[in-house]
Chains A and B, each alone.
Chain A
Amino acid sequence: MTCSDVERALPEMLDGTPDGSLAAEFETHVKSCPDCSDLVSDLKLIASEARQLAASEEPAPRVWVRIAAELRAEGLIHDREHDRDSEPASAPGRPILVPTSPRRRWSAWWLAPVAAGLVAAGSYVISHKPASAVAKQQAPATPGTSPSTSPASGSPTWVAETPAVTSGGTSGENAAAVRAPAPERLAQKSAPPKGVSGSSAEPAPSPEDQQFLSVVSTRAPSMRATYENQLQAVNADILETQAYVNRNPGDVDARQHLMDAYQQKALLYQIALDRIQ
């Protein structure tokens, strides 16, 4: 007896009405085949548990009728003709398991080329992953000069990050957000410090910055988004520091930080241009 034969004989065996010789062969195969053995055990368990279900817990007959109709429609079962006369009219005909047709037996193999195609497509997409799109910004404002108070028209919606920590302080200028260092995200500027004219505008690339990005786009397009993000962050630092220096012209340390911010921008230019081939 083969596994297919076991499959065909299962309903008969589990109903407890097996043919004598069939039962012997069935038992012999089940003992030697782990898959069939597991299947028989599972089915026996389910059958025994099902018998213990109270009648009140059993779904309405219309549920089974509907399930049977769907199984019949899929060709998985067909009714025994000779049993229909003895069954109540409301109950579904006793179905028998339809051995899987050769077409069904091979139905899973269509997955092989589809899956291979998906893997190949995935590999292609990953290997040719375009740079993450960043909204282009139209803005004429030059960073580091007088801060603009309103964003230029068409300025993009940067991915904003909730400001992490508000640095405390005794002075009123304590609302500046400490930006998280994640490079791909721009921290959304918090409200300007109290009593201070705002520089909450998005930093816009200067003509030099635009030219720089244009060169990067031409020679290293995959890096454009990265450099643009970093440039925006650096420009934001310059704007922020410049605004502070404008408000506190006597603060030597702040002036030094402004110089440092410009040096950071110079460093960014340098690193980018060194890498562009």
Chain B
Amino acid sequence: MASLQQAGLQQGRFQQVRLQQTTVVTLVLATYLSAAAFAESKKEYRFTVGPNANVSVDTQYGAISVRPGSVNQVVVTATIKSASVEVDQQQSGNRIEIASHLLQGADQQNGQVDYEVLIPPDATLNLHSSTGPLSAERLQGDLTLEGTDAVVNVRNVANGHVHVRTMRGPITLTDVRNGHVEIASISGDVHLKSVSGPLVQANSGSGKIFYDGDFSSGGDYRFTTHTGDIEALAPSEVSADFSAHSVLGRVQNDFKLQPKHSRFSVEEGRSFFGTVGKAASKVVLRSFSGRIRLKQR
């Protein structure tokens, strides 16, 4: 009995060692072949521009990341996934256009081009990508970011207008001030942190909207969803005129509101209206069937 066990164990042990060796060799071989098949290349493009340049980057598949650079130069670094896609670039005076051009047989894997862009801080920027992600930070010009599934991230933007549209990509804005903010998404979630300005508008069909800020600048803040929830977090010293209504959902409010006249009839649990402080800003929260919560930080 013991000998049978010995025989079985021994055989199994040596086979296991051989199998491990084979697996390692195979994995190394496969990795090398995969890398060779998807040969990447990098290209850099430089453009000289004047003030208020207009930069547009459009890629079907791939990430676009934009940061401030020199005041009179636009630098674009494109990481091209394969020979199935090429980069078209064009300059007309102060207008720069960069676009990925898919060739025959290109798909989401081999047609990907990632861009890293340095632009003058005051430049107007247009970004388009289906897959993304799209990111822009520390800029002062107008920004337009559009993606289907792209994750959009905008941080530290001041004085410029920010327009974002996605189909289902989530959108996050952080420290965006003094400009118009207009966000629209079919089903993407929207996160706004320290976002303020004369107009801050966010609309999502089934996505959620989260706001964490002070509703400052005497601005007009409008958040609308169809089925998504809306949650706003504000400090106790906020100064705003609040109006919230959900047709079929519930509303909840942590603030003690001074009543005000409204064209809407107040329906307990479905709406609230009132002011806090001097009502410097206007805040309108609307949803068809989502839940609305105004919470005090």
Contacts and interface: CB of A to CB of B under 8 A. Distances in A.
Interface residues of B, number: 74
Task: From A108, A187, A244, A274, name the one whose CB has the most chain B CB atoms within 10 angstroms.
Answer: A108
A71 B206 contact: no
Contacts of B11: 76, 97, 100
Interface string B196-218: 00000001111110000000000
Given A68-B4, A115-B23, A257 B167 contact: no
Nearest to A175: B248
Nearest to A15: B3
A201 interface: no
Contact of B17 (A35, A92, A226): A35
Nearest to B207: A181
- What is the interface residue range for chain A against chain B? 35 or more
A230 interface: yes
Interface stretch (A21-29, A121-129, A202-210): A121-129
A7 B9 CA distance: 11
A1 interface: no
A43 interface: yes
Interface in B139-195: 146, 148-149, 165-168, 184, 186-189
B9 A111 contact: no
B70 interface: no
Contacts of A263: 203
Task: From A51, A67, A120, A181, name the one whose CB has the most chain B CB atoms within 10 angstroms.
Answer: A181
27 contacts: A10-B10, A14-B2, A42-B13, A43-B9, A47-B5, A68-B4, A100-B11, A111-B19, A112-B22, A112-B25, A115-B22, A123-B34, A168-B250, A170-B267, A170-B270, A178-B249, A179-B206, A179-B227, A180-B206, A230-B187, A234-B205, A237-B206, A240-B288, A252-B264, A253-B264, A257-B247, A264-B203
Given A230-B187, A233-B206, 12 more contacts: A64-B1, A67-B4, A97-B6, A167-B250, A178-B291, A179-B206, A181-B206, A182-B187, A226-B148, A233-B205, A270-B165, A271-B165
Interface of A: 7, 10-11, 14-15, 35, 39, 42-43, 46-47, 50-51, 58, 64, 67-68, 71, 76-77, 92, 94-97, 100, 105, 108-109, 111-112, 115-116, 119-120, 123, 126-128, 165, 167-170, 173-174, 176-183, 187, 222-223, 226-227, 230, 233-234, 237, 240-241, 244, 251-254, 256-257, 260-261, 263-264, 267-268, 270-272, 274-275, 277
Interface of B: 1-11, 13-15, 17-19, 22-23, 25-26, 29-30, 33-34, 37, 60, 102, 107-110, 128, 130, 146, 148-149, 165-168, 184, 186-189, 203-208, 224, 226-229, 245-250, 263-264, 267-270, 286, 288-291
